[in-house]
Chain A
Amino acid sequence: MGNQGKEGIEKLEYFAPKTLSEALILKGKWKAVGTFIAGGTNVIPDMRAKGLRPEVLIDLSHLKNLSYIKEEKKKIRIGSLTRISELASSKVIQKCAPILSQAAYQLGNPLVRNRATIGGNLADASPAADTAVPLLVLEAVVVAESDGRKRRQIPIDQFFTGQNRTALRRGEMIKEIIFPKPNSNAKMGYSKLGLRNAMAVSVVSVAILIDMDGNRCRKARIGLGAVAPTPMRANRIEEILTGREITKGLIEDCSIEVMKEISPITDIRATEDYRRQMTSILLRRVIEQVTS
């Protein structure tokens, strides 16, 4: 059947590359017109809601060797196609970085968790992306590959550049996520507030990692979700905590200061005001929880 002209044309092509380099060559060739699909749990709803009509689907789900959770001496390496359900149930993650497994455990619902991938969750870059918040706090690095160019290591706090926008360049794909194994005596906590107990987009989410030195905080990392255009680190709060003894008063100060650091919006789920208040509450609770 012939090409009748621009109008009325439906072009949809599908490729199932078998290797990473094949996938990258395809992306390099099709550029903006090529859409990666892994778990499909964002791409397919987006196609419905935003009327996205991807012209070329590059299906990553058949790539072998990109689904793994590897514990090395000092690092944890997670393949980008690792399913969220794997993250949630992984003994390695539960042991070394429980905030990541907890976040994974609360993402979506069990059916979605069996398909969604960690790479997809990050590449979609929702301000509320569940795995992003603990990964920020774990100071993860996103390893990006492309056809022809050098592999890049993008620190996660530079990865999210705007709402649903990432630092990934045209033709790049996430290969894996690496983070240093936290100290065995690091204290970690995670909390997500949603409007339901399942299938709930975060209204606010908080993750923290604190390295203590006796009763002084040596290092603090605070991650916040759904309160800014991107998942973010609460740098000011981290400064406040670093080097100090974590007292009730200090926690109180942090919970007040954090409200100034965020830029939440009002949307169908919550008002800006409520999000601000809840960030304060959740932060206080999580710090209390890990230091008790």
Chain B
Amino acid sequence: MPELKIVGKPIPRHDAWEKAFGLTTYAADFSLPGMLYGKVLRSRYPSARIISIDTSKAERLSGVKAVLTAKDVPRNESVTRFGQTHAMGGGFEGLYRVLADKKVHFMGEPVALVAAETEEVAERALELIKIEYQPLSGVFDPLEAMNQDAPAVEEGKSNIITHYEVLKGNVEEGFSEADVIVENTYRVPFVDHAYLEPESGVAWIDENGVITIRVSTQVIEHFRGIADVLDLPHNRVRVIGTYVGGGFGGKEDITVESFLALLTFKTGRPVKLTYSREESILSHSKRHPYVMFYKTGAKKDGRLTALQAKLVSDAGAYVYLSPWVLLYSMVDAAGPYRIPHVRIDGYTVLTNNTFTSANRGFGAPQVCFAYESQMDELARRLEMDPREIRKKNYLEKGEALATGQILQHPVALRETTEMALEALGEKTPSSGRVRIGQGIASGMTSYGRMIFLHDTSRSHVSIEMDGSATIRAGVQDIGGGQASSLCQIVSEVLGVPLEDVKIYIADTALTPFAGTTTATRQLYMSGNATLMAAEEVRRTLLSKASEMLKIDPQRLDLVDREVVDVEGSGKSLPIKDVVKACASDGLPLYHIALFKAPFRNLTQFERIEGQVFPDFTFGTHGAEVAVDEETGRVQVLKLISCFDVGRAINRSSVEGQLEGGAIYGMGYGLTEEVVLDRGMTMTPSFSEYLLPTSMDVPDVQTILIESGEGAGPFGAKGVGEPSVCSVAPAISNAVQDAVGVRIYDLPLTPEKIIKAINQKRRD
């Protein structure tokens, strides 16, 4: 790989300095004169008819400027295609309802909006809104909801949103060839994104009558949906994305934007709306719970012969991204393994629970928990080393997934497994009641969106008269260095020091659309677009410099504000002189590039076949745990994260993603669960919803392999979501190793472990 000067170095990010000094203006930090405060009134029942709403007292309260219900929303309901621009079928359309109208479908569903002079008055107004509810029966278990006679969550519609199938070979034949068959049911719960920054935004009407929303979001493209809600032309709504205090998929759907737009439109004044933490946990999207029935067969020597799985995900009360999440799961459900016979059936089902949608991993972590637990169970039955059984079955470059997608690039699973195990080292000796165990798990997670979506990204790169550089890109920065990586790329390509590169992001009026910050796609898509744009500007500069220096452009490079002759003639020019010459000659000193992801049309979605994703990131997690066999408490002593990252544009950022993802996955494995009891949230705050604290986690060890084989700029692969996927099963496998019990449902609470240990003693 060519020696790079800026790319690949652990350079401090520009936004990191601002954050270190407390200068970053997050959504809730912004205010305007005359600003009102918005609040949302939410449903107190998971399933009920709204008989009447009386807002009169609230409206009369001094200081209240607007009270809105469904009847006040110009277009309260729309069928959203959740991101794609053309009709797809396959259950990809979902009802987006701004405010509950005749019924409420989940507890926390928004019913009314208030804007008032102060937060206190707004809260008081909420209390004065009188709603008469008639509670209805609801359904809270997706398996139950699949039954014909279950109450319909959305009247007149089946609770089953969609069903997919993956079919390869003949599983009956495959199982008949197996020497051992392992069959288990796995369950994973609702979890919360738990970003430290609650949802927030400020909206106002600018001097041109444009509804402007400055909001913490992963998707500024929602401006179109918001305009539709207001029944306004799309160019009358502008979304400005702030630096986001954590997204993880929870700020991927519309959160506060519609409410802000409605309240500012109605009052004519700026409005701020910030969720409380309790409101956030209650009402924003959750990760899909899954019930996963897995049956895996293998020969004595460990070769897999068949895998059959049925996946049922809980979509909650609204469709949102459920069909997509399930689709990801379908592609990933067999794991990165060579299996001749596969049958997977997937269902996503409406219930009266909180709606579920994107969460880091998007359907991959759920199935990884299942397939990596299965691999270890097979290993145990066959008395094989968990590493050996995996190495026997890992897919290699050129081989196909069960769906038929061929892996075009090297699959570094063997290497990552070996390196993770080496880093784990000798098992710490057990002592007394504390048993030590080690476990590994491998994962495959896609990066880049599904290829039938015509995904694109645009980036505008320009060089200023004084040789500094500016990037304009619609990129939403959610903390993963999305913006700063683009600066690094431009700095590398144009020879402009990083401190002279400025980036403007996330403004639907002023920055070219870069697409969503989701699906681990920004570095891949916007990185490539920025690279293309920067290279075009570079060509212009080198061509002019070549004229000026009378040296072949092949011999020229841009380094540290200068054009230099790499063949050592000593001739050079300051870049800004070349820029001025270009300007005099009317040559463009900017380029806007469009990067298109590969496209393949999927015409049907009943059976998932062929290529669905551009590429995957492969890696292995290794965990060493100490399990107290009397209390069930688990302490993770070592956590190794080993990934082929393609190319680390910013090494420090990549490590940061892997470390953060490992702990995100650890919380999923050990302590996190949003407990819903018949639709009621029993874990309302961070006192009940338990995130890992600094005292609960080990130093995460990251090992990077750089194969250079990624589809991103300089051969980079995406790591944001892949970093989470296989942590929970690695820990679960380690617990099995420590105390000899397997837990089939997350999180692995101390109680579950003790129950399993006691059960084992009885057997």
Give A270's nearest chain B residue, CB to CB. B751
Binds A, one of B225-233, B353-361, B613-621, B692-700: B692-700
B693 touches A196 (CB 8 A): yes
Binds B, one of A75-83, A95-103, A211-219, A271-279: A271-279
Could you tell me how many residues of chain A have their Cβ less than 8 Å away from some Cβ of chain B? 22
A201 touches B687 (CB 8 A): yes
Most-contacted residue by chain B among A49, A269, A274 (CB, 10 A): A274
Q: What CA separation (Å) do A45 and B276 show in the bound complex?
A: 13
A13 close to B (CB within 8 Å): no
A199 touches B693 (CB 8 A): yes
B630 touches A195 (CB 8 A): no
CB distance from A176 to the nearest CB of B (A): 30
Kindly identify which residue among B124, B630, B684, B687 contacts A10, using a CB–CB cutoff of 8 Å. B124
**Extra inter-chain contacts (4) besides given A199-B693, A270-B751, A281-B631, CB under 8 Å:** A193-B631, A197-B696, A198-B694, A198-B696
Q: What CA separation (Å) do A193 and B630 show in the bound complex?
A: 12
Residues of A within 8 A of B635 (CB): 197
Give A204's nearest chain B residue, CB to CB. B631
Q: What CA separation (Å) do A201 and B749 show in the bound complex?
A: 15
A195 touches B750 (CB 8 A): yes
**Per-position binary interface string of chain A over residues 95-131, scored 1 when its CB falls under 8 Å from any chain B CB and 0 otherwise:** 0000000000000010000000000000000000000
Residues of B within 8 A of A201 (CB): 687
Cβ-closest 5 pairs across A and B: A197-B695, A198-B693, A198-B695, A274-B751, A281-B630
B120 close to A (CB within 8 Å): yes
CB distance from B187 to the nearest CB of A (A): 18
B693 touches A278 (CB 8 A): no
**Per-position binary interface string of chain B over residues 665-693, scored 1 when its CB falls under 8 Å from any chain A CB and 0 otherwise:** 00000010001000000111101101011
A197 touches B693 (CB 8 A): yes
- A8-B124, A281-B630 given as contacts; is B695 within 8 A of A274 (CB)? no
Kindly identify which residue among A10, A193, A196 contacts B696, using a CB–CB cutoff of 8 Å. A196
B690 touches A195 (CB 8 A): yes
Can you list 9 A-B pairs with a CB-CB distance of less than 8 A? Answer: A8-B61, A49-B684, A195-B671, A195-B690, A196-B690, A199-B687, A199-B693, A200-B690, A268-B675
**Per-position binary interface string of chain A over residues 189-228, scored 1 when its CB falls under 8 Å from any chain B CB and 0 otherwise:** 0000101111111000000000000000000000000000
Residues of B within 8 A of A8 (CB): 61, 124
**Per-position binary interface string of chain A over residues 252-292, scored 1 when its CB falls under 8 Å from any chain B CB and 0 otherwise:** 00000000000000001111001001100100000000000
- A8-B61, A196-B690 given as contacts; is B120 within 8 A of A271 (CB)? no
CB distance from B122 to the nearest CB of A (A): 13
Give B684's nearest chain A residue, CB to CB. A49
Q: What CA separation (Å) do A269 and B754 show in the bound complex?
A: 15
Interface residues of A (CB under 8 A from B): 8, 10, 45, 48-49, 109, 193, 195-201, 268-271, 274, 277-278, 281
A274 touches B124 (CB 8 A): no
- A10-B124, A193-B633 given as contacts; is B754 within 8 A of A277 (CB)? yes
Q: What CA separation (Å) do A49 and B685 show in the bound complex?
A: 9
Kindly identify, within residues 110 to 155 of chain B, every residue whose CB is under 8 Å from any CB belonging to chain A.
120, 124
CB distance from A25 to the nearest CB of B (A): 30
**How many A-B pairs fall under 8 Å by CB?**
47
Give A201's nearest chain B residue, CB to CB. B687
Residues of B within 8 A of A277 (CB): 754
**Per-position binary interface string of chain B over residues 741-763, scored 1 when its CB falls under 8 Å from any chain A CB and 0 otherwise:** 00000000111001000000000
Kindly identify, within residues 599 to 637 of chain B, every residue whose CB is under 8 Å from any CB belonging to chain A.
630-631, 633, 635
Most-contacted residue by chain B among A8, A49, A193, A201 (CB, 10 A): A8
Kindly identify which residue among B61, B631, B675, B751 contacts A271, using a CB–CB cutoff of 8 Å. B751
Most-contacted residue by chain A among B120, B635, B694, B751 (CB, 10 A): B751
CB distance from B680 to the nearest CB of A (A): 12
Q: What CA separation (Å) do A271 and B751 show in the bound complex?
A: 8
Kindly identify which residue among B61, B671, B682, B696 contacts A268, using a CB–CB cutoff of 8 Å. B682
Q: What CA separation (Å) do A199 and B671 show in the bound complex?
A: 13
Give A271's nearest chain B residue, CB to CB. B751
Q: What CA separation (Å) do A199 and B750 show in the bound complex?
A: 17
Interface residues of B (CB under 8 A from A): 61, 120, 124, 278, 630-631, 633, 635, 671, 675, 682-685, 687-688, 690, 692-696, 749-751, 754
A195 touches B120 (CB 8 A): no
- A197-B693, A199-B693 given as contacts; is B120 within 8 A of A10 (CB)? yes
Q: What CA separation (Å) do A25 and B215 show in the bound complex?
A: 49
Residues of B within 8 A of A281 (CB): 630-631
Residues of A within 8 A of B749 (CB): 195
Residues of A within 8 A of B694 (CB): 198
Q: What CA separation (Å) do A274 and B633 show in the bound complex?
A: 12
Residues of A within 8 A of B683 (CB): 268
CB distance from A175 to the nearest CB of B (A): 30
Q: What CA separation (Å) do A271 and B120 show in the bound complex?
A: 38
Q: What CA separation (Å) do A271 and B755 show in the bound complex?
A: 11
Residues of A within 8 A of B690 (CB): 195-196, 200
Residues of A within 8 A of B675 (CB): 268
Q: What CA separation (Å) do A8 and B675 show in the bound complex?
A: 35
Residues of B within 8 A of A48 (CB): 278
Give B278's nearest chain A residue, CB to CB. A48
Q: What CA separation (Å) do A8 and B751 show in the bound complex?
A: 47
Give B60's nearest chain A residue, CB to CB. A8
CB distance from A57 to the nearest CB of B (A): 16
CB distance from A150 to the nearest CB of B (A): 39
B682 touches A278 (CB 8 A): no
Residues of B within 8 A of A268 (CB): 675, 682-683, 688
Q: What CA separation (Å) do A270 and B631 show in the bound complex?
A: 12
Residues of B within 8 A of A10 (CB): 120, 124
Residues of A within 8 A of B688 (CB): 268-269
Q: What CA separation (Å) do A112 and B752 show in the bound complex?
A: 30
CB distance from A197 to the nearest CB of B (A): 4
Q: What CA separation (Å) do A197 and B626 show in the bound complex?
A: 14
Most-contacted residue by chain A among B120, B671, B695 (CB, 10 A): B695
CB distance from B716 to the nearest CB of A (A): 36
Q: What CA separation (Å) do A269 and B696 show in the bound complex?
A: 17
Q: What CA separation (Å) do A109 and B693 show in the bound complex?
A: 10
CB distance from B530 to the nearest CB of A (A): 41
Q: What CA separation (Å) do A278 and B633 show in the bound complex?
A: 11
Q: What CA separation (Å) do A274 and B675 show in the bound complex?
A: 18
Residues of B within 8 A of A200 (CB): 690
Q: What CA separation (Å) do A201 and B683 show in the bound complex?
A: 14
CB distance from B725 to the nearest CB of A (A): 23
Residues of B within 8 A of A193 (CB): 631, 633
Give A193's nearest chain B residue, CB to CB. B631
Residues of A within 8 A of B61 (CB): 8
Q: What CA separation (Å) do A274 and B692 show in the bound complex?
A: 22
Residues of A within 8 A of B751 (CB): 270-271, 274
Give A45's nearest chain B residue, CB to CB. B687
Q: What CA separation (Å) do A268 and B683 show in the bound complex?
A: 7
CB distance from B601 to the nearest CB of A (A): 48
Q: What CA separation (Å) do A271 and B687 show in the bound complex?
A: 17
CB distance from A177 to the nearest CB of B (A): 26
Give A48's nearest chain B residue, CB to CB. B278
Q: What CA separation (Å) do A269 and B124 show in the bound complex?
A: 33
Q: What CA separation (Å) do A145 and B718 show in the bound complex?
A: 64
CB distance from B743 to the nearest CB of A (A): 15
- A8-B124, A10-B124, A274-B754 given as contacts; is B671 within 8 A of A196 (CB)? yes
Most-contacted residue by chain A among B61, B631, B635, B750 (CB, 10 A): B631
Q: What CA separation (Å) do A269 and B684 show in the bound complex?
A: 13
Q: What CA separation (Å) do A274 and B753 show in the bound complex?
A: 11
Residues of A within 8 A of B630 (CB): 281
CB distance from A12 to the nearest CB of B (A): 10
Give B673's nearest chain A residue, CB to CB. A268
Residues of B within 8 A of A195 (CB): 671, 690, 749-750
Most-contacted residue by chain A among B630, B635, B671, B675 (CB, 10 A): B630
CB distance from A6 to the nearest CB of B (A): 13
CB distance from B41 to the nearest CB of A (A): 15
Most-contacted residue by chain B among A49, A197, A198 (CB, 10 A): A197
